[in-house]
Amino acid sequence: MPRKIIIDTDPGQDDAVAILLALASPEEIDLLGITAVAGNVPLALTQENARKTCEVAGRPEVRVFAGCDRPLAHSLVTAEHVHGKTGLDGPDLPAPTMPLQQAHGVDFLIRTLRDNPAGTVTLCPLGPLTNIATALQQAPDIAPRIKEIVLMGGAYFEVGNITPAAEFNIYVDPEAAEIVFKSGVPLTVMPLDVTHKVLVTPARSAAFRALGTEPGRIVADWTDFFERFDKEKYGSDGAPLHDPTVIAYLIRPELFTGRHINVEIETRSDLTRGMTVADWWRVTDRAPNAMFMGDVDADGFFSLLTERIGRL
């Protein structure tokens, strides 16, 4: 039985690759819809980029909803310096022709969780957690109905990529992250500790291009684009491909290892706002609330990703 999921996202090239991986994997994944949130770029662009990505996959029937356009308590911080002015810079993609759904993304989340049997829908946030937190605030009854939240965000050993202490998705809306991490919903977290181990090297990018398909070429163009920024920043031989780890985990969980630990979100400190304080060594008596991943089989991840992109 394929797993029912909703992808909540702020595309971003790596978000787009995650959407393609989900759409290429119908045996494992039943994508009920996509909710867009402001993050890497403003909402007007993230909802458009989500639709562009569905059209790259040849799946214009996927329902895409626009959600929250700003964080719960602070002004929006974006990442055009990484993803380009559109958020999907690299290949030249046409404007989408598929429609944006009328309903608000948060309303779609709430309605879908209420309409499906409890414990059957997994939420997959790939950006700031504003939409998920807003849904939990507006409809507390949905929390016990969520099967699991598998998210990309946070860091522990790799610390921060937008401030010295904070990872971008959590930093953009720490108040939302705090609501999600305190919700009692089963959480699986793909932090920078994992994503910095799945690097798009020139050889891995060339493998996408060698598929000889239009989606393969577009993925290679995306990874080539943001690779330039990250290689310069980290001095590594490729850029981390953050968000597809969430979908890869749903397909092949054995690729990942981690620990079930307590993770708290720092919201008050000017210095460490947005930090994911992960009790990796279990030095507190705080109850575990998240499966916090620490390692990944990178070759296995890329062989899965390349094989699935080749199906589109």
Q: What does the pLDDT look like over 5-51, one tens digit per residue?
A: 999 999 999 999 999 999 999 999 999 999 999 999 999 999 999 99
Q: What mean pLDDT do residues 81-97 have?
A: 94
> What is the per-residue pLDDT across 206-220, written as a single tens digit (0 to 9) for each?
999 999 999 999 999
Q: Say yes or no to pLDDT of 239 above 90.
A: no
Q: Say yes or no to pLDDT of 234 above 80.
A: no
Tokens 């562009």 belong to: 52
Q: Half-sphere exposure of residue 63, counting CA atoms within 13 Å on the CB side? A: 16
Burial of 85 (0-12, 13-18, 19+ CB in 10 A): exposed
Burial of 28 (0-12, 13-18, 19+ CB in 10 A): middle
- What's the CA gap between 150 and 156, in Å, rounded? 17
What is the reported pTM? 0.97
Per the annotation, the verdict on 81 as an active-site residue is no
Q: What mean pLDDT do residues 267-286 have?
A: 97
Q: Say yes or no to pLDDT of 232 above 80.
A: no
pLDDT on residue 11: 97
Is 80:87 a contact under the CB 8 Å cutoff?
yes
Q: Say yes or no to pLDDT of 194 above 90.
A: yes
pLDDT on residue 128: 98
Annotated active-site residue in 81, 83, 196, 242? 242
Q: What DSSP character marks residue 12?
A: -
Q: What mean pLDDT do residues 222-233 have?
A: 74
Q: Say yes or no to pLDDT of 226 above 80.
A: no
Is 211:203 a contact under the CB 8 Å cutoff?
no
- What's the CA gap between 62 and 140, in Å, rounded? 27
Is 76:167 a contact under the CB 8 Å cutoff?
no
What is 40-71 written as a DSSP string? SS-HHHHHHHHHHHHHHTT-TTS-EEE--SS-
Residue type, 50: A
Q: Say yes or no to pLDDT of 225 above 70.
A: yes
pLDDT band at residue 228 using 50, 70 and 90 as cut-offs: low
pLDDT on residue 268: 95
Tokens 């089989």 belong to: 297
Higher pLDDT, 157 or 235: 157
Q: What mean pLDDT do residues 70-97 have?
A: 95
Residue type, 49: N
pLDDT on residue 250: 98
**How many residues are there in the chain?**
312
Burial of 9 (0-12, 13-18, 19+ CB in 10 A): buried
What is the domain partition of the chain in residue ranges?
Answer: 3-309
Class of domain 3-309 (CATH, top level): alpha beta
Q: What mean pLDDT do residues 283-290 have?
A: 98
pLDDT on residue 230: 62
- What's the CA gap between 29 and 21, in Å, rounded? 10
Q: Where are the beta strands (DSSP E) in the chain?
A: 3-9, 29-36, 64-66, 121-125, 146-152, 187-190, 199-200, 239-240, 256-261, 263-265, 276-278, 290-296
Q: What mean pLDDT do residues 133-160 have?
A: 97
Share of the chain above pLDDT 90, in %: 93
Residue 22 structure tokens: 């989900």
Q: What's the whole-number average pLDDT of the chain?
A: 96
